[in-house]
Amino acid sequence: MFNRIVLIVVFVPIAIILIALAVANREPVAFTLDPFNPGNPALTLTLPLFIYFFLVLAVGVIIGSAVTWLRQGRYRKLARQRGIEAESLRQAIKTPPAQPRGERHDALPGPTP
C-alpha cells in the first residue's frame, strides 16, 4: 500500500514534469567543451535540450547509487560476518556433542522390544 502511495504521489508528478520538459525543449542546443573556441566542431555536441536533462539525471542516479553503495560497505561486511557466525552456530546445533566412549547419557530410556 505504501509503495502505491509513493508511486502516485512522487513518481507520477516527476514523470509528468519530465515529459513536459522533453516536449517543450526539443530544439537542438550546442554543448561545447572548449570555452576559448566555442565554434570548434571537434569539441561541440549538438543535441536536443531534453537529452541533456536526461543525461544529467542518469549521471546523478549513477553517482548517487555508487556513493550509497560505497558508504554502506561496512554494513555489508558486518552482515557477511554475522552470516558466517550464524552458519557456524547452525552447524554446531545440528551436530550433537561428542560423548566419551562407554558412557551413555540418554535423557530417556531406549525403546523396549
pLDDT one-digit tens code per residue, 25-69 = 888 888 888 888 877 888 888 999 888 888 998 999 999 999 999
Q: What is the pLDDT of residues 92-113, one digit of tens each?
A: 887 766 666 655 555 666 677 6
Predicted TM-score (pTM) of this structure: 0.57
Predicted confidence (pLDDT) at residue 90 exceeds the cutoff of 60? yes
Sketch the domain layout of the chain as residue ranges. 11-94
Count CB atoms within 10 A of the CB of residue 54.
14
**42 touches 33 (CB < 8 A):** no
Collapsing DSSP states into helix, strand and coil, what is residue 37? Answer: coil
Please give the pLDDT value at position 97.
64
**29 touches 47 (CB < 8 A):** yes
Quick one: CA torsion of 104, 105, 106, 112, rounded to 10 degrees? 30
